[in-house]
Amino acid sequence: MVVGLYGIIYLEVARVPERGWLLAAVGLIGKLLGPIGLLQLIWSGTWPRSTIVLSLTNDLIWWVPFTLYLYDAWPAFRQDVFGNRDLMSDKV
């Protein structure tokens, strides 16, 4: 069920990429929390170590694309949020 919900979010990011920064950030957080939860399950002995492959193919592989997109989309998101009163300007 959650995978389907994320699919709807990713569809919206693909539809309007210049306005998808926040949605993609939520997606990346999910991809970061997944391996943390898996490690907790492995550490507690609930799941075997062999399940690490799930995290590699479902979460870790997406870290680079999400990060690249968020880096690229940051200026448009910042402009949309702050407009002309850019409080987070790189200029000193």
Quick check: is 39 in a domain?
yes
Model confidence pLDDT, tens digit, residues 4-32:
888 999 999 999 999 999 999 999 999 99
Integer angstrom CA distances of residue 74 from 12, 17, 18, 35: 17, 11, 9, 25
Q: Does 52 reside within a domain?
A: yes
Residue 92 within a domain: no
Domain that holds residue 30: 2-82
Distance (Å, whole) CA 61 – CA 80: 29
- The Cα 48–Cα 25 span in angstroms is 30
Q: Is the pLDDT of residue 86 over 60?
A: no
83 band by pLDDT with thresholds 50, 70 and 90 = confident
Number of domains in the chain: 1
pLDDT value for 33: 95
3-state helix, strand, coil in the chain (%, to 5): 80, 0, 20
Q: Is position 43 within any domain? A: yes
